[in-house]
Chain A
Amino acid sequence: MYQYRRFNNKNGFFQKFGNLDYILLSCLLILGFISLATMYSTDGGEVLFHTRSHFIKFVIFFSMMIVISFINIKFWFSLGYLSYAIILGMLIWTINFGITASGSKRWIDLYFLNIQPSELMKIFIILCLAKYFHRMKAQHVNSFYSISFSLIIIFVPMSLVIIQPDLGTSLLIAISGIVVLWFAGLNHKYFFYSCLLSIISLPIIISFLKPYQKLRVLTFLNPDRDPLGAGYQIIQSKIAVGSGGFTGKGFLKGTQSYLEFLPEKHTDFIFTLFSEEFGFIGSVLLLLIYSIIIYRVIRIGALSRSYFAKLFCYSFGTSIFIYIVINMSMVLGLLPIVGSPLPIMSYGGSSMLATMIGFGIVMSAKTHSQQSIA
């Protein structure tokens, strides 16, 4: 089918090549380079496991993104429900046969690699919902049927992830889904009422939280209540960022990470290390790169002809933005600690795979921007 399209499309292979968004690509490459350098620093200035593994993953997934971008956006449209169903199947598989690590079952063993389906779901839920709303007439968007159906689409994977347990990822999945609902034109009042409802039910939700999650919330409210226990991560993270200063301590000179005061420095807290070594200037620069990436993603959406592509790009761009904001707010002590990686920067194959698939689809929307989907 792909071959057929390629030869029948007015856009030839080389034309597609020329249509790639090179600003986005170069920003991703720069980000990849920064993430590798940071990973190198977390390894203590040596090329060790994390750096090597991150490098290999980045190269593979980046190439994969290029390949994806040559696949017609229509293909991704047609794959919307199927891929969602597959990931859902994987999530169910995870619950039964997943690999248990540090108290939660998040990974499944695919023999050649371990994969975390919940991370993939963050992207494929967007794809699924975008397809769902693409077909919908404007007046049907706010119908009871469509709202309930899309909420089911969100809640099923969310609950599957919650019971892993992995509150952070399930929230991110929900946010991705809700972002699509927002763009699809769901009435503002629904958002308003559900916000109100969740605030009212907050005490009840808290009472259902697991003890370690409650502790996180309490710790967020007052990190000093247990500086060596639950508050340790956030205190050390703030110390690392704060001590970085305006220009940072210099590459490979971050004492907080080098002397192992930083927790989770490869994954969720990678920004802390980066910020310690490169300071305020580096951090703002990193934010700028992320902003350019998000801007390009949204611009691609704006230039796309099909509603599906627009909806996907907008939602994906917004989701990435929210992931970044949540991660940074968390390490800067603005939000309680929830497990949420920083896209591309954090170590983790599944997260990178999901992000790169997302960018691939966006890039495919770019190369096929004139493609309209029925």
Chain B
Amino acid sequence: MININISDSATKLNSLNRRMFILATAKIIILGGIVSRLFFLQVKENKKYLTLSDKNRIREWKLPPIRGEFQDYFGNTIAGNFEAYQLHIIPEEVEDFRYVIYRVKELLELSEKQFKKIVKKKNEIKPWETLIVADNLSWEKFSKINNHLYDLNGVKPVISISRDYPYKENFTHVLGYVSQANENDLLTNENIKEKFVPGLKVGKTGLEKSFEQKLIGSNSVERYEVNAYGRRISQLAFQKGDKGETIKLTIDTKIQELTNELLKEKAGSICVMDIYTGAIIAMHSSPSFDPNSFVFGISQDEWQLIRNNPMKPLVNKSLSGNYSPGSTIKPIVALSALENEIIKPDFTVQCKGHKNPLELYGQTYHCWKKEGHGFVNLREAMKQSCDTYFYEVARRLGVDRLSVTAKKFGLGQKVFKDVFDNEKKGLVPNTEWKKNALGRNWVLGETIITGIGQGFIQTTPIQLCLMTAQIANGGYKIYPKIVANDDNQYADKFTPLYKKSRNIKIVQDAMFSSTNEVRGTSYRSRLDDPNYRFAGKTGTSQVKKITELDRELDLKTFQIPYEERDHALYVAFGPYKSPRYALSIIIEHGGSGGTVAAPLAKKLFKMIIDRHEIRKNYDNKKYLNI
């Protein structure tokens, strides 16, 4: 056993030691490799991995931004935020979810349907995510929950910020409303996409939509340390977001409320405008609806009620209602004829009434008055709104020259440009338009009825208001605005729209006679106090062609089916001695402009002119404060 060959063992040992030496060298090299790898990762690339590690562990939670407010001209909040009482549950913090949810159901008197919806939502979210059980609780229910909190582990009564429209239906069509952001909102607006959090409410129509960028504000951000499963471990930082901009409008709430009251139970629109600044004092479309019901999602029944209302509450008639202007176009027809020197103010036409209508090429054209107006000049024709006179003027003028003047005064184009996405352009026809659009030649008869605002011509109430304002201010171009600090810097602002300012005067005077002189169409709606005196023009636009039978029956408005009744229109400006405000009133299917629309103007001007001083003083005070 001890007989091991010495030399053999020596060879073995030599080989062993030699190989150990080789391997030891290799080991040192490999060790160097590992150390250099460590150096590479930990020292050279440290920054990169540190960032990655932070990205791993830090997660940000965006909170819904606080939406900017809307104020009226006097700083009253017309769309603000209120504290909504909500009920949140974080499922994983609840020991016995079934018990708690049934208890909550009992306390809040939830219906089976609502309850199922909540349970479904709970199954969709992660256990540590917030489940919103109720988003707008009444104070009674909220306090009831608070009183039972001892019994409801894990239930959190939360006060959150939400949209509030204190004037309810008064501003609906101007402001629009907010509601939950949907997929479409995210696709069309990058800003919403960027700031989106579940439950974010965004503007759906009106100014709420147009000024979304300014109103939305920025998210508050909560930075949390999270673990690999996304559970929050600790809060690292809270970065407060900015509230959205407050937008001040030119609207006077008092007048806006009056317009709402005047239009109650009626379908129509009232627009009031400052004739120098273009500031909208009031703009209302009736019927309206309460925008608050959209904030937390409108119920199906309520929605159907609004949607199916024949008076179309969802349509903003001031901007997207296309109406034939009827006789309210006459000032423009007259002005155009004077400007083009087709007629002189003393140009006279004999009106024989609709018993002996004007006949041209086999067509008959009736004046509204049975007995006729006799011999009328321009002023008389405007005062009594004689159709025959304007048929003749239009015939001589021609539609192309008329359309030039009409367009100059703001018809046939959007008044607010891009501010409202639902604004319509209306239509001012001319021969070229008809050829392009309909492929047929213009016929003279169309010119003639255009002269009394029927036929192809379509205007929106706000266009009529602007038209009146530009006549009232002496024929200068203005740009309407609804946002107070919008200093519309257009180069052609206040450029004259007339050739001879005398022509404007003539038209103004004719409008004055229409309201303030006997036999004027709106004489009964006049205000006698010279401080309140206003000038206007009535209009009654036909919805349906009047047949011979209708003429013979001579039905009263209430005897005609609603859908076929005439639209009543009225445009006016005042106070006459130094004009400041213009308005347009449209009552859909209201009957005659003189009897239905003009009386509203009387009440409006009283208040508008009364409030002018307050408005002016508020302006001055504002400057003093600086």
Contact = CB atoms under 8 A, between A and B. Distances in A.
A165 interface: no
B227 interface: yes
A183 B35 contact: no
Contacts of B27: 294, 318, 321
A88 interface: no
A182 interface: yes
Contacts of A256: 53, 56-57
A183 B16 contact: yes
Contacts of B437: none
B42 A138 contact: no
Interface in B1-18: 1-2, 4-5, 8-9, 11-13, 15-17
A178 to B, nearest CB: 12
Interface string A216-248: 000000000000000000001011111111100
A255 B34 contact: no
A320 B524 CA distance: 112
Binding site secondary structure of chain A: helix
A287 B34 contact: yes
B20 A298 contact: yes
B42 A279 contact: yes
B228 A259 contact: yes
A158 interface: no
B19 A242 contact: no
Interface in A235-282: 236, 238-246, 255-256, 259-261, 275, 279-280
Interface string A311-323: 1001000100100
A302 interface: yes
A147 to B, nearest CB: 16
Interface residues of A, number: 46
Contacts of B46: 242-246
Contacts of B228: 259-261
Interface in B209-264: 225-229, 233
A260 B34 contact: no
Interface stretch (A52-60, A328-336, A357-365): A328-336
A307 interface: yes
A240 B35 CA distance: 16
A25 B23 CA distance: 24
Given A137-B8, A243-B52, A314 B16 contact: yes
A19 B248 CA distance: 93
A239 B56 contact: yes
Interface in A110-131: none
Interface in A287-315: 287, 291, 294, 298, 301-302, 307, 310-311, 314
Contacts of A184: 16
29 contacts: A139-B8, A141-B12, A182-B23, A238-B41, A239-B56, A240-B53, A241-B38, A241-B41, A241-B42, A242-B49, A243-B49, A244-B42, A245-B42, A246-B42, A246-B46, A255-B53, A259-B225, A259-B227, A259-B233, A260-B228, A275-B38, A279-B42, A280-B43, A283-B38, A298-B20, A314-B20, A328-B34, A332-B34, A332-B41
Q: Which 10 A-B pairs have the closest CB atoms?
A: A242-B49, A243-B53, A374-B1, A259-B227, A280-B42, A185-B15, A260-B228, A243-B49, A245-B46, A242-B41
Interface of A: 137-139, 141, 182-185, 236, 238-246, 255-256, 259-261, 275, 279-280, 283-284, 287, 291, 294, 298, 301-302, 307, 310-311, 314, 318, 321, 325, 328-329, 332, 334, 374
Given A183-B19, A259-B57, A310-B16, 9 more contacts: A137-B8, A139-B8, A185-B19, A239-B52, A240-B53, A242-B52, A307-B12, A307-B16, A329-B34
